[in-house]
Amino acid sequence: MSKLNIAVLTVSDTREESTDKSGAFLVSGVLEEGHQLAEKQIVKDDIYDIRAVVSRWIADPQVNVILITGGTGFYGRDSTPEAVAPLFDKNMEGFGELFRQISFQEIGSSTIQSRAIGGFANNTVVFCMPGSTGACRTGWEMIIKQQLDVNFKPCNFVKLITTGIH
């Protein structure tokens, strides 16, 4: 297994480390799979604050993957997709589509309010998920963890990330 350096960002106006269950879940998943935690941060739901953190991680050659939880809905200041999508070199439409398909089985038509997205920027894979722990569990266990496993066939992101071939 290739160990990847993964950064976790929680986007929330109300969470702090002691109440960030979704971010903690993602960190736990990263470590359980044998990856390295590059950094974990909580940022307010502000386009420019989000973009600043994500841009720094994308520019850092030591960060292979960015997992973002929160800010993907339609409420008030939810702005993660608007902050992150302009940074992508390539969009990963399949992530949001598959996330909503799986999520439909769990929460029904409420899944249409999920704006989960993914993309690729500067040899870094970025996944943006809703802020609930359940949504993070769906994204991590059903999609992301497999795509970050070098042994998952027929394809995964590990070779793409680690070789820089794209």
Question: What is the model's pLDDT at position 67?
Answer: 98
Q: What letter does residue 140 receive in the DSSP assignment?
A: I
The rounded distance, in Å, linking the Cα atoms of 135 and 72 is 11
How many other CB atoms sit within 10 Å of the CB of residue 67? 26
Q: Which residues contact 101 (CB under 8 A, 6 or more apart)?
A: none
5-163 fold: Molybdenum Cofactor Biosythetic Enzyme; Chain A (3.40.980)
Whose tokens are 């439409």? That residue is 93
Position 159 confidence tier, pLDDT thresholds 50, 70, 90: confident
pLDDT tens, residue by residue, 58-117: 999 999 999 999 989 888 888 999 999 999 999 999 999 999 999 999 999 999 999 999
Q: What is the pLDDT of residue 165?
A: 56
The three-point CA angle 16-143-153 to 5° equals: 145
Q: Is the pLDDT of residue 164 over 70?
A: no
The overall average pLDDT reported for the chain is 94
3-state secondary structure of 76: coil
Find out whether 61 and 31 touch, Cβ atoms under 8 Å: no
